[in-house]
Amino acid sequence: MSRILMVYASMTGNTQEVAEAIAEGIRSTGKDLEIKEVMDATAKELEDYDAILLGAYTWGDGDLPDECLDFYEEMDDIDLSGKKVAAFGSCDSAYEHVGAAVDILLKKASERGAETPLEGLKIELSPNAKEVEICKQFGVSFSELLG
């Protein structure tokens, strides 16, 4: 059975809501996962899992949040070859680079050798009921990629 880890950062709770809905989708397929906030995780831990979900809100004009920066830099020292990685986050279309943190995380995972088979999931602010279902389906889709 695949070992799945979700690591995310959430300031206002929006990205946490997205994370919880994705987790519900994964668990609905019978798979289990470990969930950690980014401040409680290290990039090195990612090497111990078969599949990884990375979540972050976009800060400022298209940046990773400050609490993700050390984790992101640590990713330069790991090998994610053979692992599947997906990314998600809350965003705000009032900014020029909507959901850029999701793209930044996917790019880094790919640079470290991971397969990134799903397009990043970007949810405007707090997910509404329809978007919660989209998040759950994202979790199901990711889970199904693992066999």
Residues 6+ apart with CB under 8 A from 90: 10, 12, 14, 15, 17, 18, 57, 58, 122, 123, 124, 125, 126, 127
Would you write out the chain's pLDDT as a tens digit for each of its 147 residues? 789 999 999 999 999 999 999 999 999 999 999 999 999 999 999 999 999 999 999 998 899 999 999 999 999 999 999 999 999 999 999 888 999 999 999 999 999 999 999 999 999 999 999 999 999 999 999 999 998
Query: Quick one: pLDDT at residue 81?
Result: 98
Q: What is the pTM of this model?
A: 0.97
Residues paired with 91 in a beta bridge: 124
- Sheet with 34-37, edge to edge strand ranges: 34-37, 4-8, 51-55, 84-91, 121-124
CATH number of 1-143: 3.40.50.360
Closest by CA to 89, choosing from 122, 49, 135, 131, is 122
Residues paired with 63 in a beta bridge: 59
